[in-house]
Amino acid sequence: MGFSNKGGIESDANEAERQAREFRVALQQFLNQNSPIFSAMARRGIGTGDRDFYDLAARIGETAKDVAMLVVSMMEDVPPQRASEQAIRMIRPDIVEYVVEHWLAFDAPVDAALEARAIVAVLRLADSRFDFSPYGRGAQASPDSSVALTFVAASSLMACQTLPYDFRAADPAALQRRLLETVVDAAQENLPKMIVEGCPEAETRTVLQSLVKHFSKLMRAVYERETDLMVQRAATMDEEARRRWFETMDPVADIVRDFRERASHLVAMGTALAAKAGRPSAGDQPQAA
């Protein structure tokens, strides 16, 4: 083997690793920025096949982008077009959740400038002594402990959902386990779509944790929606009618089915957009919806 050929092989390997890393980063950004939107749609009962789904998702995403840009520009005291892209990316997931909650609460468009000023006013009250790097969270925990904490958080989230309303389950703990297992199974099933062969174990673990976190929130939204529907339907029945109705219904199966469909769509959209980011000719990374 000639030295020039060896150099070419190493160059190809480096390029493949670069593309794989860009894919993972873009996919993580997509999940962070779009998972709250998918959860909001689930809580509203808007299916992935509905005509308004992607239009609403795009509008929420664009509004969140505008709010994040304005917040950073105000904090940095620069024009919006000169606001730090890195800072915008770092705060955008939280801004998305803020915009989503506003939309759910008021069912009205968000005034980006007004909300940005409100957020900045709160940020300026914060004590800088409590600032911390988001990259430092969990730095003192072992990898296994970090994964365990993620699963404990997911389990806690499922418990918070099933305690107020459990669809008259004979074993509420079994219901909680079923929801958690569905979340974990979906995360493990989708994990291979998000990593490449030979992906470092630490990065694989991080991606799995990210999926469990986002899928747990999506499951919560789907569960809340089904709970609301069941309560509304049962409100008009007497107790005997309710008992017979619950004996013939399997709302948890509907929850699992709806969750898996939405989780699949979320990952499919993310991998499609992230794949473009990993190509040499892709240019800028795609803006998530």
**Is 192 in contact with 13 (CB distance < 8 Å)?**
no
Q: Are 155 and 232 within one domain?
A: yes
> What pLDDT does 259 receive?
95
Specify whether 121 is located in the same domain as 220: no
**What pLDDT score does 289 carry?**
43
Let me know if residue 20 belongs to a domain: no
More confident position, 144 or 129 = 144
Indicate whether 153 and 200 sit together in one domain.
yes
- Any idea which residue has 């992607």 for tokens? 54
Q: Of 22-31, 155-164, 171-180, give the lowest mean pLDDT range.
A: 155-164
Contacts 24+ apart (CB under 8 A), 143-149: 143/202, 143/205, 146/205, 146/209, 147/205, 147/208, 147/209
pLDDT at position 235 over 60: yes
164 shares its domain with 235? yes
Indicate whether 148 and 104 sit together in one domain: no
pLDDT level of residue 132 (50, 70, 90 thresholds) = very low
Query: 171-212: per-residue pLDDT in tens?
Result: 777 888 888 889 989 999 998 888 877 778 888 888 888 888
Average pLDDT of the segment spanning 61-81: 90
Q: Is residue 195 part of a domain?
A: yes
Q: Which of residues 127, 154, 182 is at a domain's end? A: 127
Give the domain-ending residue among 100, 127, 154. 127
Higher model confidence: residue 223 or residue 235? 223
- For residue 110, what are the domain limits? 33-127
d(CA 236, CA 94): 39
Q: What is the pLDDT of residue 136?
A: 37
In total, how many domains does the chain have? 2
Q: Whole-number mean pLDDT of the chain?
A: 77
Q: Would residue 153 count as lying in a domain?
A: yes
Tokens found for residue 183 = 């979340």
Average the pLDDT over 163-170 and give the result.
69
Same domain, 71 and 122: yes
Task: Give residue 7's pLDDT band: very low, low, confident or very high (50, 70, 90).
Answer: low
Longest dimension (CA), the chain: 84
What's the average model confidence in pLDDT over 15-36? 81
| Pair 181, 187: CB distance under 8 Å | no
Whether residues 147 and 276 fall in one domain: yes
Residue 251 lies in a domain: yes
Checking if the pLDDT of 2 tops 60, the result is no
Q: Which pLDDT score is estimated for 143?
A: 58
Global confidence as pTM: 0.63
pLDDT digits (tens, 9 = 90+) for 86-115: 888 878 887 887 788 777 767 777 889 988
Q: Residue 269 falls within a domain, yes or no?
A: yes
* pLDDT for 142 beyond 60: no
